[in-house]
Amino acid sequence: MPDFRPVLNLRLKLWRAAVLLSMGILVGGLYFFQVVHADTYIRLASNNRLRLIRFPPVRGEIYDRNGALLAVNVTTFDIMGYPMDIEKNDMPERLAELLSAHGIPYTAEDLSRSIKRQSWAPYRVVRLVGNITLAQMADLVADPEFPRELFPLPVWRRTYPAGSLASNITGYVGEISENELRQFSEGNYAAGDQIGKNGIERQYEDVLRGTPGEESVEVDARGRKIRTIDTRPAGRGEDLHLTLDLGAQRLAADLMKGYRGAIVVMDAHTGEVLVLYSSPSYDNNPLAWGVSLREWNALVNDPEKPMLDRSISGQYPPASTFKALMGLAALEEKETTTALTAHCSGAFTVGNRTFRCWKRSGHGTVNLLRALQESCDVYFYQVGLKLGISRILKWCSLFGLGSPTGIDLPGESAGVTAGPDWKRARFKESWYQGDTVNYSIGQGFLLTTPLQIARLYAVIANGGKLVRPHLSSTAGVVARNLSLEKKNLDVIRKGLDYVVRRGTGRQAGSFGITVAGKTGTAQNAHGDDHALFAGYAPMDNPKYVAVALIEAGLHGSSVASPMVGEILSYLLVPEARGKAQ
């Protein structure tokens, strides 16, 4: 009989080895998963039951100098969900159908794009739909088809009570873009956050924004909340008080109805800006809540350019308002006195070119005071040639022309103070005396913003200090003493007084206050001449300086000067303020 014990023993040994190997693999696997990678799997398990809800920061509000609200927060609702839940059961399609049934136009593609842009962790909440009103949210939640995996989250949205009155100043907020997310990667921003896009909202983003909050919640296997683990409430940003006077801004808007241009009013001593109106304007409320691409393109391509802030970004020839600086420069450089006269026959010849005075019959013999009073071009042609372009450019630079004023708003233009080097580089031409003659009356290769003109006249009004304009009440006064001789400033101020009392700016003085200033009519290659008036009041003890610029307004004397007189009267005479309101 054969002996099977060796075979059986071998099989038993192999079986034991297989069992031991299996146990070794099992123990090794347990060790690998439970010891070596324990933290990883604990974290994954925690993620499956942990949900993080991010609360957007509460933005600070914006007020004018009298406490009137310019930017305020209102409560709306966002529909939120978790990526791991949203990916199930065709959620975007179902939600899009539900929203459409309730009159809220969203497509599944819109929702999918929004989810994809925000998703970077499956347990972090994302926003599917924003700007839902309380009534809409109640209607949606009451619908049996509303997905139970989603939930409403109350959030703050920005609204601007003044609307188009101050949109060029406040600007607006909007959802942060991908480029902005990269740009502000260190700023604790997330997709869906609101960020200042323009104006004060952008300039003071760090002050107004606040800090985001977060809530950690534990959920069960079906995603239902079990308990709150931790909560950090959203922090409110700082409120911002501006130097703007909304009442005066409203008057500026009324005065500018039907015109394109700008009105600026500034405290001559501190640089506080009380009025900064640009016409036409735009309503910033739709932009803060979201507009379609078609609506956005219609706004930015509007031929009237409502989004151009003409007060700080529009560049125009200063025209005869520049003559005050020319006269002061000539006095300081000892190229003229009040005793020196020039004869105006109505024309002035330089080489083979003849330059006309606005008064074709001429002004006769005039000194500096009468030249300012009557805005005699021929007198200033001669002053300009005496000074020469180099000294004219020096005085432009001293008064801040050709450089931004430094106002606390984005998008300010520097203006243009072009000289011989610029002309040679741009046109490959030499500088001629005729170019200097044009410069002398604020024409030619010279462009300024209305705010720059106001700053220039503030120097004359305050006794020789170049102030930096500002809108924030906390900005503080920044001024540089230009070391001008008082007697020379007094001469220019006397001449500007004559302009209103006896000359081309009489209408500015018809509102119960004493105004000094200068009219201007700027040549416009694209149509009728622009109208300007720059002045200050009260004449003997100036407080405010104001500039009105009307595109294609034809005459500063009849159109711009009464606007300046009326708005200065509003600010200085309580009775006038009452009537205007």
Q: Specify the pairing of strand 240-241 against strand 62-63.
A: parallel
3-state SS class at 215 = strand
Q: Are 170 and 201 in contact (CB under 8 A)?
A: yes
Residue bearing tokens 């391509």: 301
**Helical residues (DSSP H) of 119-245, grouped into ranges:** 134-142, 167-170, 178-183, 199-203, 205-208
184 strand-pairing partners: none
Where are any strands of DSSP class E within 164-252?
172-175, 194-198, 213-219, 225-232, 240-241
What number of residues does the chain have?
A: 581
What six digits make up the tokens of 339?
């005793």
Amino acid at 28: G
- In sequence order, the 6+-apart residues with CB closer than 8 A to the CB of 399 are 325, 455, 456, 459, 466, 482
Q: Are 53 and 153 in contact (CB under 8 A)?
A: yes
The span from the CA of 522 to the CA of 556, in Å, is: 9
The span from the CA of 266 to the CA of 490, in Å, is: 21
Q: Are 171 and 197 in contact (CB under 8 A)?
A: yes
Q: Are 88 and 95 in contact (CB under 8 A)?
A: no
What six digits make up the tokens of 524?
């416009």
Taking the alpha carbons at both ends of the chain, their separation in whole angstroms is 127
Cis omega (within 30 of 0) for bond into 57: no
Nearest residue to 320 via CA among 516, 518, 460: 518
Cis omega (within 30 of 0) for bond into 538: yes
240 strand-pairing partners: 62
The span from the CA of 216 to the CA of 123, in Å, is: 10
> Does an H or E element contain 29, and which?
helix 5-31
3-state SS class at 342 = strand
Indicate the DSSP class of residue 59. P
Q: Is the dihedral of CA 510, 512, 514, 515 positive or negative?
A: negative
User: Is residue 345 among the annotated active site residues?
Assistant: no
The span from the CA of 354 to the CA of 542, in Å, is: 39
Q: Specify the pairing of strand 353-356 against strand 347-350.
A: antiparallel
The span from the CA of 212 to the CA of 518, in Å, is: 52
SS3 of 228-254 = EEEEECCEECCCEEECCCHHHHHHHHH
- Catalytically annotated residue among 281, 320, 375, 440: 320
Question: In degrees, to the nearest 5, what angle opens at C-alpha 184 toward C-alphas 181 and 185?
Answer: 75
Q: What amino acid positions are annotated as catalytic residues?
A: 320
